[in-house]
Amino acid sequence: MAAVSSYRARGIVLRRTKLGETDLIVTLLADTPTQLRAVAKGARKPGARLTGVVGLGNEVELQLHVGRSLDVITEGTLVASRADCVREFERASLMEVVLDVAAELTVEGEHDERMLPMTRAALGAVSTARTGLLAYVAAAYVFKAVSMQGFRPVFDACVACGAAVDPRAAETVRLSFEDGGVLCDDCADGMRGAMRKASTLAWASSLIRMTFAQITALPEAPDESSQGYEVLELAREWLHHYPGIRPRALEFVFSAGAHTL
């Protein structure tokens, strides 16, 4: 039986890496396998047919030829463009957070059928949400993605004894990253974890359960953007502990001051 020399794949462009003078290595969150890397020859040439297709965040359908080290993209069709996100600094920054987290949490050659539709929904929300909700969308994606990997935080019950902990019942709640969530007063015993704003933990707990459509439909609220970035900062800290990654795009958001806009 002859070996397969070409195949089709559909997915979202997560990363683009320069190769030589005119080529790109494209990292795709694909329908199968989950992460796919391939060469887009000539994609950096002005007017090249693949240039507008393999833009960051775009959903694409590709025809690929099997290569010795990396496969080669021979044809590409644009399914959904994210060019609208790139035009706004904050929207573009948080779109890249979604893409970078997806790239860090998926593995080349291993398939997780849940990641592509969830990432598609998150990018759609980044494209359409009002500015004040963008950080909520990014934080929701982080918490949902790590939960899929088995690192779901516990914000509504004590991780030590299981007693219910209602973040809305107090101004602060004790959170222990090492233990995997919140602690009741008896189990914390003043030694474990650190006190965190209860409102931030309550939002994080809600975002895990909400759909992206529900998040973008939230009514406008005072200081919603600053609250959203507090939740995103919590998501960033969670990634540092579980699974121990520091996505560059997320670090950039806080180091470059995108969260203060």
Q: Which residues of 89-114 are buried (b: 16+ CB within 10 A; e: fewer)?
A: ebbbbbbbbbbbbbbbbbeeeeebee
Residue 235 CA, chain-centre distance (Å), reads 10
**pTM score of the predicted model:** 0.94
What the block records as the tokens of 53 is 């297709």
Tens of pLDDT along the chain (261 residues)? 456 789 999 999 999 999 999 999 999 999 988 899 999 999 999 888 898 899 999 999 999 999 889 999 999 999 999 999 999 999 999 999 999 999 999 998 888 899 999 999 999 999 999 999 999 999 999 999 999 999 999 999 999 999 998 877 889 999 999 999 999 888 887 667 889 999 999 999 999 999 999 999 999 999 999 999 999 999 999 999 999 999 999 999 999 765 665
Query: Which residue ranges form the domains of the chain, and what is each CATH number?
Result: 6-81 (2.40.50.140), 84-256 (1.20.1440.120)
What the block records as the tokens of 22 is 């005119």
Question: Which residue matches tokens 């573009």?
Answer: 92
Residue type, 100: D
Taking Cα atoms as reference points, which of 24, 33, 28 lies closest to residue 14? 28
